[in-house]
Amino acid sequence: MKITIDIEETLLQEAMKLTGERKKGPAVVKAASEFVKRELAKKFGHMLREGEFGEYPLTNAEIEALDR
């Protein structure tokens, strides 16, 4: 989807630097994508802490062992 947005130049330059993108459009897309991923991860973590998934079959230590 194509849109027109107004972004402060210094913010856009910083987004380009942090994302490693050389063009403005891809930098904005990457920054927005990363923001959405982080927010969804936070929401999922909150849901886990609140016990919204019931009993999870593995302990924290078992989960961490799987990551190795």
pLDDT of residue 15: 97
CA distance 29 to 1: 11
Q: Which sequence spans correspond to the domains of the chain?
A: 9-67
pLDDT the model gives residue 51: 77
Side-chain half-sphere CA neighbours of 53 within 13 A: 10
11's tokens: 């913010």
User: pLDDT at position 27, please?
Assistant: 97
Confidence (pLDDT) at 59:
79
Question: Residues 7-61: pLDDT tens digits?
Answer: 999 999 999 999 999 999 999 999 999 999 999 999 998 888 887 877 767 777 8
Q: What pLDDT does 25 receive?
A: 95
